Amino acid sequence: MLIKLSTNKSVSETAAALQAVVQANHFGVMQVHNLKETMNKKGVEFAHECLIFEVCQPQQARKVLDENMSVSTALPCRISVYEEGEKTILATLKPTTLLALFNTPQLKGVAQEVEDTIVKIMTEAAAG
């Protein structure tokens, strides 16, 4: 259900790499949520660095939504970048697992393509 990779890069180095790699793989970054910053602004002390990237490939999203608009509740895809011990982690929920919840087996191929690309993006951002 969860894809998780680690890197020795810092959260900020990983985030910068992720921005570039997402675009190079024909996805777009729709939004980046800084969880630590947001929680602190709301008066909740939170010490961990955590950035949540919302990423999308519009053509793939359209294929899915044309088939089942309910899938919009699981879009866009998210990639989290956070610290865990001495490592930086990149994590995402498997698109294939999420799409299976919507009982649309005809979209399995699209979900697999998206998942493969997201794994490639995460691997490239973690490298080095």
Q: What is the pLDDT of residues 19-47, one digit of tens each?
A: 999 999 999 999 999 999 999 999 999 99
For residue 37, what pLDDT is reported? Answer: 95
For residue 75, what pLDDT is reported? Answer: 95
For residue 6, what pLDDT is reported? Answer: 97
Q: What is the pLDDT of residues 45-78, one digit of tens each?
A: 999 999 999 999 999 999 999 999 999 999 999 9
Element (H, E) at 89: strand 87-93
Per-residue pLDDT for 128 more than 90? Answer: no
Between CA 1 and CA 49 the distance in angstroms is 23
What domains does the chain contain, in order, with CATH numbers? Answer: 2-126 (3.30.310.70)
- Nearest Cα residue to 115 out of 94, 89, 91: 94
